[in-house]
Amino acid sequence: MFSNTLTFAIGVGVGIYVAQNYNIPEIKSVVARSVKFIRNLEKAARKEDES
């Protein structure tokens, strides 16, 4: 149990360090772009099936 807690604490610490010192994109914008891209792929696939 202590090992899991220690691993989690180290992961949080590394995550905080990376977020403060590197230009990491916000996850909301990345997810929004991904969803938009996938929806466009679906629309294109539907258009191909109709023709």
What pLDDT, on the 0 to 100 scale, is given for residue 20? 92
Predicted confidence (pLDDT) at residue 49 exceeds the cutoff of 90: no
Residue 24 sits at φ, ψ, to 5 deg, of -95, 130
Give the 3-state secondary structure of residue 26.
coil
Going from N- to C-terminal start, the domains of the chain cover 25-51
Could you tell me if 18 and 24 are in contact, meaning their C-beta atoms sit under 8 angstroms apart? yes
pLDDT for residue 39 is more than 90? yes
Q: What is the pLDDT of residues 4-35, one digit of tens each?
A: 999 999 999 999 999 999 988 888 999 999 99
Q: Number of C-alpha atoms within 13 angstroms, CB side, residue 50? A: 6
Predicted TM-score (pTM) of this structure: 0.53
